[in-house]
Amino acid sequence: MKRLPLEEEVLATIRPTSEERDHICNLAKNLLLSINQSGKAQGMVVGSIARNTWVRGDRDLDVFMLFDPQLPREELETQGLSLARSIAGSYTENFHEKYAEHPYINAQIDDVDVDLVPCYHVDSAARIQSAVDRTPFHTRYISDKINGLIDDVLLLKRFTKAGGIYGSDQMTEGFSGYLCELLILHYGGFTPLLKAAASWRPHIIIDIEHHAAKTFDEPLVVIDPVDPRRNVAAAVSIDRMAEFVDLVRGYLEEPSGAFFAHPPERCILKQELATIILQRKTSVYALVFTTPPYIPEVIVPQLKRSLLSVCDLLERNGFAVHHADYDMQPERCMFLFELPVGELPTIRRHAGPPLWNHINADKFRKKHLAERTAGPYIVEGRYEMEIPREFTTARNLLSSQEILMAASLGKHVRQRLESGWTLLEGADCWQEEFASFIAGFFDRCSPLVRILRKR
């Protein structure tokens, strides 16, 4: 299918240059040689670089070290890390251990971000012993079929990146590179995909090999061609799926280069924040604490759970939450809350049992008989009374370690909060490292709306 002129213009800026390709391929060749000469494992380049579907400037090189599947798991980790350290150390001093399902080495070699990952050299995806063992099969599958569609993959990757929905990490909950490749394969190109996606609805199922071995509940289901029990799109949230459909419809209606342009990072100054809060007449609070020393895949789900729990705590104490979100930076994390009101009356209504529940109604009346507040009185057939409110300000509630620690917090988040946190209010919530996050908190809009507003 013929591409639009603007798409050809975009491709001219995102295809890797020959110099870039030669540089990365030469490094990959040398790393593979080092692995193979070790006699311990077989090297293999995986990911977008192996499949020629990488966008210019994305210099992420994934090199797998395939070990004998008979090797015990503990030995795989020990020998794999030892070999990876040895190879990385021969190129650079800038490398460190990271952890996914098992440890691997991440190294900065020249201007390339290199992952050296140990895995098992299994002969079938059905025999994988860990999630990473599946990746070589992904590479082989795409490499065999993607010829003629590489430019379409590049366009889709740039389209989703510009829309802020690229990445299957916990923070983004969007489209992985492998998912982009499979969507292009299934629909036969960038434009056919967009035309189909404009009509997507939740729970659509795409099964290229027609071999699904189970059902899935996620909004978007794309059965892995090499593993019939896996949904490649499992990470895609309902919001990211909807944002993709929204972008697709906007682009098809009026194509523009803005759909492929990375939006500039929007930051906010403290005085701007003060003005926004004054105009909105809301109460804004931030909990700031030290970032737990674990990878985002471990911490982000805990941040989500903890934020929801604190919101529930506020709601149960009478403080409605208009909007809340979290951000994780290398050194510190922030929970940010916007409440319609931050201070409440000193009393609240407390419902008791119906009068028809004779025993419990008598207990309720006798328990509160001596109290000097209104009640117990009867409303719609049940006892009710007024009682003193435990927290009349959100600040006091969010400052209480006893109350906050009673919330359902993620393990590592709890450990950090137990060591203390900083509670900020109003414009004082502004912190330089969170300036972009705070700007996005108050400038919420869909990716398509952002693009349309800038026209």
Burial bucket for residue 48 (CB in 10 Å: 0-12, 13-18, 19+) = buried
Dihedral sign for Cα atoms in the order 212, 213, 219, 220: negative
Task: Tell me the residue type at 5.
Answer: P
The whole-angstrom distance between residue 271's C-alpha and the CA centroid of its chain comes to: 30
Please choose, from the candidates 193, 196, 183, 190, the residue with its C-alpha nearest in 3D space to the C-alpha of residue 152: 190
User: Any bridge partners for residue 328, and if so which?
Assistant: 333
Q: Where are the domains of the chain?
A: 5-121, 150-260, 270-343+392-452, 350-388
Fold of domain 5-121: Beta Polymerase; domain 2 (3.30.460)
**In sequence order, which residues have a C-beta less than 8 Å from that of residue 371 and are 6 or more positions away?**
385, 387
pLDDT (tens place) for every residue of the chain, 455 residues total: 688 999 999 999 999 999 999 999 999 999 999 999 999 999 999 999 999 999 999 889 999 999 999 999 899 989 999 999 999 999 999 998 887 677 899 999 989 999 999 999 998 878 888 888 999 999 999 999 999 999 999 999 999 999 999 998 888 999 999 999 999 999 999 999 999 999 999 999 999 999 999 999 999 999 999 999 999 999 999 999 999 999 999 999 999 999 999 888 888 999 999 999 999 999 999 999 999 988 888 899 999 999 999 999 999 999 999 999 999 999 999 999 999 999 998 888 878 888 888 888 888 888 877 777 777 888 888 888 878 888 999 999 999 988 999 889 999 999 999 998 999 999 999 999 999 999 999 998 899 999 998 87
What is the architecture, at CATH level 2, of domain 270-343+392-452? 2-Layer Sandwich (3.30)
Tell me whether the CATH fold assigned to 5-121 matches the one assigned to 270-343+392-452: no
How far is CA 454 from each of CA 18, 259, 427, 448, rounded to the nearest angstrom? 34, 11, 27, 10
Residue pair 260/198 in contact (Cβ under 8 Å)? The answer is no
CATH code that applies to domain 150-260: 1.10.1410.30
Instruction: List residues bridging with 65 in a β-sheet.
Output: 43, 118
Residue 153 to residue 54: CA distance in whole angstroms: 9
Of 285, 274, 281, give the one whose Cα is nearest residue 314: 285
